[in-house]
Amino acid sequence: MKKDYKEHQQDLLELNSDGNRTRGRYGEDEAKYAKCDRCKKVIDLDNDTAICFNNKLYMCEPCVEEVKKEFYDEVRNSNTG
């Protein structure tokens, strides 16, 4: 893929130029994809159901359901003991 002039200038001037391309004007993250931090599945932020914690940790819907089930099982087991 051929770089345009803006990307070429950005590569020359910025330390983290490729990472900055997914950031908005004021530093907000505008990436279209993320990776689930539990199962490493790629999440399409526009179409997939997912949870994001503190703009850093992403979890896909199946992993959220697993964690919820594990939590309920842990609470149930600790209250019966």
pLDDT of residue 59: 94
pLDDT of residue 56: 82
Gap between the Cα atoms of 37 and 52, Å rounded:
10
- Report the candidate in 44, 47, 28 with the shortest Cα–Cα distance to residue 36: 44
What are the pLDDT tens digits along the chain (81 aa)? 566 777 777 777 766 666 666 666 666 666 688 899 999 999 988 889 898 888 788 999 999 999 999 999 988 888 765
Question: Residues near 63 by Cβ (< 8 Å), separated by ≥ 6?
Answer: 36, 38, 39
Gap between the Cα atoms of 59 and 53, Å rounded:
9
